[in-house]
Structure 1
Amino acid sequence: MNPSTALARVLVDELVRGGVRDVVLAPGSRSAPLAYAVQQAERAGRLRLHVRVDERTAGFLALGLAKGSGLPVPVITTSGTAVANLHPAVLEAHHTGVPLVVLSADRPHELRGTGANQTTTQPGIFGSAVRWSADLPAPESVESVGAFHRSTVCRALAAALDLLGSGGAASHRGPAHLNVSFRDPLTPDLLRHSDTPGPDSGSSATPGRAGSDVHEGRADGLPWVMPPAPSMAMSWGGVEHVPRTLVVLGDLGSVIPSQQVLDWARRHGYPVVAEPFGDHDREGTAPHGPLLLTAQDWLASHRPDRVLVAGRVTLSRAVAALLRTAGVRVEVCTTSADWPDPGHVVHAVHPISALLDSNDAMADDAWAASWRDAGSTVAQAVSASTAEWGTGLAVGSLVGESLPEGARLFVGSSNPVRDLDLGMAPRGARLSVVANRGLAGIDGCLSTAIGLALTTDAPSYAWVGDLTFLHDANALAIGPDEPHPDLTILVTNDGGGGIFRTLEHGAPERSADFGRIFGTPTGTDFEALCRAHGIRHVLARTREEAAAALSAAPEGITVVEVPVDPESHREAHAELRRVAREALAISG
């Protein structure tokens, strides 16, 4: 089987699994893989195919089918003006909330802008008229057709149906656009009489989740990802009872208080591993949870059957590895149809309200207790081996100890947020942690922190690295007639891009290339910069000096600069992981 045929069959198979029953086709050469796939599906009795020679007519036919059935209806076109001819139907679907799905074939991306025949820039062609869009590159091999493609189809259907919206007449249903590039050959391989066509004919299977083959799809016949779909013909899963459930709490933003999720997990006895974001009580989570997950031997014998992810998880590679573990069912609770699933491993998606309203049964008590005991063991071991001052982890520990009850902390991307995640010990005092994790950039962090401080009476703090500070230093240029916040800004100065020292680029064997293109030292005088803006600057070289500066109530803008050894990041994190593993091994 060639890559284009494999991709087309997987996409059509997943559309059918997602509830599609009618497909409209306007013939063309570049869309041939999809044409063969939908014809094969019709012959198997899986869908009803409608062929039209005019794309404008095809678009409105699909619109009518979707209006009448309430189900998503894909319309397939070839590349070029064929796609543009669907725009009137897409606009109608946009303004009337009809789940029309445009499945446009495209030439390989390297032909765009070259004058190649029947080639234009198709992604974004419908502008804001579509609820969701994706641009799928042409696969280079059969093996490269995988879970990404199936989960992308699920996203398109969820957006078109507004599955996580209100579900009523005023819901945000509408058109979605899936642009798919195909390379030659565009026709299926000719089969011998003894061959039986199927989704994976002549191909080697690409590994998927346990019990599922990516080319065949889920063994139970359901979609690759199961969002709630009350209006669709099939029955979808809810928040079921799984006694050995681990809750992973990520960034929920400002839609739902993270404390509500923590309270739900506590009522049912589920252990919680949490990123540092949110307003929840840190005593209700596994201390140093990401460290616990790095202890592979312990984790292998205490593996959850289900991981329930609430919010976006963006920090820990250990959490990402757990979600990819074979045999672990992953479900996501989210506040929008754009659910987080970078590893394409999610089995089911629930509105966050479904989680909070569910009457799930209690956890496996002995298993849950083993997670709580392990968290205490790791916390004691980390406390006994305090990180040396001059490391980001030591600063993270100090921040957790020093900030007052009810404080609001904005934490920048790169090392500070990770040092807070790993280094902050359990604390009973409430602490609200906010970050820009949408794209996790270092731009605009000081301006964000100032804006947050101007909207609350809570003691306000920010913790950023030196490059993040410099990137938005103009935020300190506040005119005399403007509102001024009370904000203490902690800057850990490691002389450049310290985050890269914890990654593969910072390996000792790559040191010759590191400084110029990753370390990027600036040598900026932070005291002079603050003086230019009339901002108070405190240089805290010792732990005691930093503790005193952070313990003082914020008044105006104060910048507290803490020098950090740039060579310490990699070894400090490795040592922390070693301490956790050894403590758990000793405790059994």
Structure 2
Amino acid sequence: MSDSSFNRRWAQVIIEVLLRHQVRHVCIAPGSRSAPLTLAAAKSALTCHTHFDERGLGFLALGLAKGSRTPVALIVTSGTAVANLLPAVIEAQLTGERLIVLSADRPPELINCGANQAITQPGIFSHFAHRCDLPRPTPEIDARWLAAALDEAIAAASTGALHVNCPFAEPLYGPEDNAWREWLASLDAWMQQSIPWVTHSAPESHTQQSDWPAWRQKRGVVIAGKMRPEEGAVVARWAATLGWPLLADIQSQTGQPLPCADLWLSSPQAQQQLNQAELVVQFGTRLISKRLLQWQQQARPQQWWLIDALPGRRDPASQPGRRIVSEIGSWINAHPAMAATPWAPTLATLAASIQRQASAAVGNTPEALLAHRLAELLPPDGALFLGNSLLVRLTDALAQLPVGYPVYCNRGASGIDGLIATLSGIQRAQARPMLALLGDISALYDLNSLALLRQLAAPLVLVVINNNGGRIFSLLPTPVSERERFFTLPQSVSFAPAAQMFGLDYQHVAAWASLQQAVEQGFLQQGGTLVEFSVAPDSGAETFARLVAMGATL
């Protein structure tokens, strides 16, 4: 039993290091080889979350990291349990959320010899995660080494996921006793504190570009991509003061002062105005609008400045200019705006015109109407989660949301996997009401994660827009004769049995007025409500295509 006790001591050090790096949540999947880590986490100050599906568990952790803005740990057992975390690890690598994956493993003598549930785990996430491969626990290794090695690995993995592979030899279970207490003695003083083993200096805040006073007097355009709610409000004020048009993504939380940009950006008048820009300042990345991405490709300003807190290339158009790694708020504080009148007033006229036309055009199309009037469904002091594919494009093109209202998406790899788990994690981290919108295929993909919506700290309304398939493919030049069979994949299902299976309140609606009522009722409930919104299969895609064509003629 002394071996099981030492495994517990080893795991205890790992958990203590996590706590001192601001980890507050840990997501745990059931498993035997991971028992030392699980038992150590359960005894600690960490908030423990569980899920029976490791793929969903990974996205639950991703959502917790998004909502809390802190690193989140995961504990899984050996074998394919680890492999199921790959989609969430990829998303974290692309969008910067910090995940710390603790994968239990067989000891080296049980690898590549036919032992049960034993695979080669080190490096399983390839370049999508940082690595820290721990040795098999042994008292011959000083506890100070373990604390220092893990501390350094976490500090070095400042964005994305860190994979910590943790081999454990049996026995894994046993009574908790005082065995191996002397091995921990060298950490006694540190364990009385709340600081990391080594304090790493944070980078200095960004200083002003020396030529900013000259550039701010020129014709500029501001692009707002994915950013935090408080940053969106600051960017909107900054652009308005400068008199520069703001082309805002739905993820920017800027209030989209020039709404429906995806519809009017391709119009000749818009192109003529925007092509006069001398400087483009882009905050955040992961843009949704196809028309905005197309303009980004063909625009030729003198300079393109891209400001984002994540390092690396973030510009698919490869524009020349400046790549500035900085928090957005800090950068704007160092680059004050100088008040000026708008230099491109035509854009405001175009935006107002197409917004009026869109309001009339979507009247008989429930899916497009939902996107256009989305702000009316938002709960006060709440949050919004948007799925991918057709839904997020409709919303980006048609919705105008309140300034600073939190909007969340998984727009790293833009996948449809793990969306229910992600939104569950965000809401757990924030404990505020949430409206979530997903397509039917996305919801089916993560159906297991409806189990995570059974215990909530605040109301959550999940609206599944059931247009019977992946209707994003109706916007693409897929062969009509093969579209249903190989692309849209209609499933002709009802989500009522799924809601019943997981104990969720359920309503089925097919019209805008009924949807409004169902959502309002859902926010009066403490738990989760699944609202199935059935719409004609291709009506949303067809309306979107008509609106885009209409905008191009302005």
User: Any residues of structure 2 matched to 1:314-463 within 5 Å, and which?
Assistant: 314-328=287-301, 329-350=303-324, 351=326, 352=328, 353-363=330-340, 365=341, 367-390=343-366, 392-424=367-399, 426=400, 428=402, 431-463=405-437
When residues 428 and 320 of structure 1 are mapped into structure 2, their CA distance, relative to the original with a 3 A threshold, is closer
Contact 2:386 2:437 in 1 (8 A): yes
When residues 296 and 405 of structure 1 are mapped into structure 2, their CA distance, relative to the original with a 3 A threshold, is farther
1:257 maps to amino acid: E
1:578 maps to amino acid: A
1:571 and 2:536 aligned: no
Deviations 1:333-382 (A, max 9, x none): 1112224111212421223333342034345x352323222222222222
1:300 and 2:300 aligned: no
Residues in 2 aligned to 1:549 and 1:325: alpha-carbon distance in whole angstroms: 44
Of 529, 532, 547, which aligns to 1:561?
A: 532
Residues in 2 aligned to 1:125 and 1:536: alpha-carbon distance in whole angstroms: 42
Contact 1:487 1:554 in 2 (8 A): no
> What residue is the counterpart of 2:245 in the other structure?
271
> What residue is the counterpart of 1:487 in the other structure?
460
TM-score using structure 1 length: 0.55
Contact 2:390 2:471 in 1 (8 A): yes
Residues in 2 aligned to 1:299 and 1:455: alpha-carbon distance in whole angstroms: 42
Deviations 1:80-124 (A, max 9, x none): xxxxxxxxxxxxxxxxxxxxxxxxxxxxxxxxxxxxxxxxx9x97
User: Any residues of structure 2 matched to 1:229-244 within 5 Å, and which?
Assistant: 240-241=215-216, 243-244=218-219
- SS of the equivalent of 1:539 reads strand
Residues in 2 aligned to 1:479 and 1:345: alpha-carbon distance in whole angstroms: 43
Contact 1:276 1:420 in 2 (8 A): yes
Structure 1 position 487, deviation (Å): 0.5
- SS of the equivalent of 2:316 reads coil
1:343 maps to amino acid: A
Deviations 1:438-487 (A, max 9, x none): 2211111111112222233532110000011111111122497x556520
Of 511, 515, 519, which aligns to 1:550?
A: 519
- What RMSD over aligned residues (CA atoms) do the two structures have, in Å? 3.5
Residues in 1 aligned to 2:290 and 2:322: alpha-carbon distance in whole angstroms: 22
> What residue is the counterpart of 2:257 in the other structure?
285
> What residue is the counterpart of 1:514 in the other structure?
483
- SS of the equivalent of 2:407 reads strand
When residues 243 and 290 of structure 1 are mapped into structure 2, their CA distance, relative to the original with a 3 A threshold, is farther
2:257 maps to amino acid: T
- SS of the equivalent of 1:324 reads helix
**Aligned sequence identity (%):** 23
Contact 1:489 1:559 in 2 (8 A): yes
Gaps of 5+ in 2: 1-122, 133-155, 160-199
Of 241, 248, 252, which aligns to 2:227?
A: 252
Q: How many residues align?
A: 359
Residues in 2 aligned to 1:375 and 1:420: alpha-carbon distance in whole angstroms: 15
- SS of the equivalent of 1:294 reads coil
When residues 229 and 574 of structure 1 are mapped into structure 2, their CA distance, relative to the original with a 3 A threshold, is same
Residues in 1 aligned to 2:538 and 2:550: alpha-carbon distance in whole angstroms: 20
1:535 and 2:504 aligned: yes
When residues 257 and 512 of structure 1 are mapped into structure 2, their CA distance, relative to the original with a 3 A threshold, is same
- SS of the equivalent of 2:227 reads coil
> What residue is the counterpart of 2:148 in the other structure?
none
Structure 1 position 279, deviation (Å): 3.9
Contact 2:508 2:533 in 1 (8 A): yes
Structure 1 position 580, deviation (Å): 2.7
Residues in 2 aligned to 1:500 and 1:324: alpha-carbon distance in whole angstroms: 23
1:525 maps to amino acid: S
- SS of the equivalent of 2:350 reads helix
When residues 236 and 520 of structure 1 are mapped into structure 2, their CA distance, relative to the original with a 3 A threshold, is farther
- SS of the equivalent of 2:397 reads helix
Contact 2:362 2:368 in 1 (8 A): no
Gaps of 5+ in 1: 1-120, 131-158, 163-168, 174-227
Residues in 2 aligned to 1:574 and 1:315: alpha-carbon distance in whole angstroms: 16
